């Protein structure tokens, strides 16, 4: 890790004045922002990387712990998209962004999705051959690979149930390093998040980093941009100032990027087309333990019915089980007695609903709205039914869906009265994949940026994060985000 990261808990560059000038300012240090800052700095640009949250090393807090939620998640993880059916979601708010809190599962964008985006949104230079070099480069840099040893028992349950039903199951590769010298548990590996990969590279190339700093507004001054910032000092006070740059790359994610652009007066096709993967969970109890002292997220997914829906495993700790079982008091009591026999699983759909992101004057967080369609509720019902059948085939003895008034189920025969559509207000939906609030392409009726992320009619202003994806890709989106961002930055630098 770069020496400067070891000398500061959060702020690499602690003081700024209005006289500072940069070629490029990158706002947001998640996968899109960190990769952007790294490539620009390595190309010789004077770059400033700005992050609203703190810098917290991976080893400072336990994975999936309350402390991690308090320090790395926006609003402690208590964020929701409002609508007739509320959807809970989480966002990283720390140096490294979502890469510091997610499970590291990696997919390339499915070819049929790329084709649909290219034709509907009219994206230039966007076929499989254009993107393969960028996927491959990211996979090398992040050490994307399968686990060297056996998967967690909770993950193998997915594979076992799918096998018994004749359904396709796969182990999903992850961006993990298994040969790190400081790794005490090689089977677990070390997540190759942004604070272990692109941020150290960016700093080594001369990039400067400010954490604990919120960007309030962007303003065009002649041929340059002025970026209004507010940095939190160690004593709790705030220092407000502005820094100028030739180029701005907004990388705050699918909610924060449109919120910043809209409060800066930039609104054309911004924040109007939020997409997400509506996800419903089920907690399964087995007759024998499937959990260990090592908190590991299942690495198997069942994609037999993709792209309509897919199954996977979720975080499995007593605290997360208790939260998911709030509507099943009997399940909480059972879990308290023997939590190691429990596993958390999900059914995920791409969804045809749409939402919006709006800045609300006076509030620090944007208003996020999403409408789950009736079709989505029917698809989610079918997906959850299939997942329950899979878990019974894997040996589950009790199932607790995250739907008020449904379950627990103890035999597969009890599933015969399953509803065709999940109840709108009683279904507890969540998502960790939010995209598409600034879609890219040359179709100006739909798109906020051109084919390479430049905001229309705004010179030297770019978006480089999940906002660019035209719709949900139907798979974990970080691979798509990073390949597209890498392509776009290289085009900006004239390297493609």
**So which residues are the catalytic ones?**
433
Three-state DSSP at 102 gives coil
- Are 313 and 298 in contact by the 8 Å Cβ rule? The answer is yes
3-state SS, residue 110: coil
Among 49, 66, 68, 46, CA closest to 57: 68
> Positive or negative, the Cα torsion across 145, 42, 442, 133?
negative
Burial 193-231 (b: 16+ CB within 10 A, else e): bbbbbbbbbbbebebbbbbbbbbeebebeeebbbbebeb
Using H for helix, E for strand and C for coil, what is the string for 290-321? CCCCCCCCCCEEECCCCCCEEEEECCCCHHHH
* Cα–Cα distances in angstroms (integers) from residue 356 to residues 4, 261, 275, 279, 425, in the given order: 39, 13, 9, 18, 20
Say if residues 42 and 24 touch (Cβ distance below 8 Å): no
**Distance between CA 157 and CA 159 in Å, rounded?**
5
Q: Encoding tokens for residue 321?
A: 């089980």
How far is Cα 204 from Cα 319, in angstroms, rounded to an integer? 39
92 φ, ψ to 5°?
-75, 140
């Amino acid at each position: 890790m770069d020496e400067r990261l070891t000398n500061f808990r959060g702020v690499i560059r602690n003081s700024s004045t209005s006289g500072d000038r940069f070629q490029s300012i990158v706002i947001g240090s998640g996968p899109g922002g960190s990769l952007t800052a790294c490539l620009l700095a390595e190309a010789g640009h004077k770059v400033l990387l700005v992050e609203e949250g703190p810098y917290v090393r991976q080893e400072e807090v336990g994975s999936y712990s309350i402390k991690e939620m308090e320090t790395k998640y926006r609003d402690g993880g208590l964020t929701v998209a409002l609508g007739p059916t509320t959807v809970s979601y989480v966002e990283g708010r720390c140096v490294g962004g979502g890469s510091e809190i997610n499970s590291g599962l990696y997919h390339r964008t499915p070819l049929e999705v790329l084709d649909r985006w290219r034709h509907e949104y009219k994206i230039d230079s966007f076929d499989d051959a254009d993107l393969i070099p960028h996927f491959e480069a990211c996979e090398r840099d992040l050490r994307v690979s399968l686990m060297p040893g056996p998967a967690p028992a909770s993950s193998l349950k997915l594979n076992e149930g799918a096998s018994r039903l004749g359904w396709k199951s796969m182990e999903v590769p992850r961006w993990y390093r298994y040969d790190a010298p400081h790794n005490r548990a090689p089977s677990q590996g070390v997540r190759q998040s942004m604070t272990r990969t692109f941020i150290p590279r960016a700093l080594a190339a001369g990039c400067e980093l400010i954490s604990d700093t919120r960007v309030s507004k962007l303003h065009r001054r002649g041929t340059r941009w002025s970026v209004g910032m507010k940095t939190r000092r160690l004593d709790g006070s705030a220092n407000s100032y502005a820094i100028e740059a030739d180029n701005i790359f907004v990388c705050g994610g699918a909610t924060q990027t449109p919120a910043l652009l809209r409060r800066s007066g930039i609104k054309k096709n911004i924040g109007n087309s939020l997409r997400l993967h509506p996800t419903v969970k089920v907690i399964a109890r087995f007759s024998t333990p499937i959990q260990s002292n090592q908190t590991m997220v299942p690495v198997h997914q069942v994609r037999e019915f993709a792209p309509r829906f897919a199954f996977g495993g979720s975080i499995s700790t007593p605290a997360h089980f208790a939260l998911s079982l709030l509507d099943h008091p009997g399940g909480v009591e059972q879990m308290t007695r023997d939590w190691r026999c429990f596993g958390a699983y999900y059914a995920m759909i791409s969804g045809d609903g749409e939402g919006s992101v709006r800045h609300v004057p006076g509030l620090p967080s944007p208003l996020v709205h999403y409408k789950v369609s009736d079709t989505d509720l029917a698809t989610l019902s079918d997906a959850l039914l299939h997942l329950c059948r899979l878990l019974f085939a894997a040996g589950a003895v009790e199932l607790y869906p995250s739907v008020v008034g449904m379950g627990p189920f103890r035999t597969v025969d009890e599933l015969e009265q399953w509803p065709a559509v999940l109840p709108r207000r009683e279904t507890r939906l969540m998502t960790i994949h939010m995209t598409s609030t600034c879609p890219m392409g040359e179709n100006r009726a739909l798109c906020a940026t051109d084919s390479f992320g430049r905001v229309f009619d705004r010179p030297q202003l770019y978006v480089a994060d999940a906002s660019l994806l035209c719709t949900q890709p139907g798979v974990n989106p970080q691979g798509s985000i990073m390949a597209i961002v890498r392509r776009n930055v290289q085009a900006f630098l004239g390297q493609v």
